[in-house]
Amino acid sequence: MSQGQGFGFGLGKMKELTEAFKKAQQVQEGAKRLQEELEVMELEGEAGGGLVKVVLSGNQEPRRVEISADALNEGADVLSDLVCTAMKNAYEKSTATMRQRMEELTGGLNLPGL
């Protein structure tokens, strides 16, 4: 073996590896903060022009459902559709927010699956 080559890791490769570990640690710390933020975040979905509102956390945890008195007059089938539509709306907002925040967190890193 020639001198200074070791196991194929030159100083440049060690520096890259060290930087990758630093970035991974930063992402891990950021992910923990993001998880905490998502838990307290509230995202609202609505349907029927605000007749029904559904509030989810950033982690898609249901927080509350608000149904106006006017929505009650629409009948069970319509009310059911309004609640479902509001839930979908809140879920879409929540997942879009989570995706955006994760992209911000991992920006510049080519992480598979994200």
Domain boundaries, the chain: 11-106
CATH number of 11-106: 3.30.1310.10
Joined together, the tokens standing for residue 20 give 């990758």
Extended beta strands in the chain, E state? 42-47, 52-57, 62-67
pLDDT digits (tens, 9 = 90+) for 5-39: 555 556 667 788 888 788 888 888 888 898 899 89
- Encode pLDDT of 64-91 as tens digits: 999 999 999 999 999 999 999 999 999 9
pLDDT for the residue 112? 53
Number of H helices, E strands in the chain: 3, 3
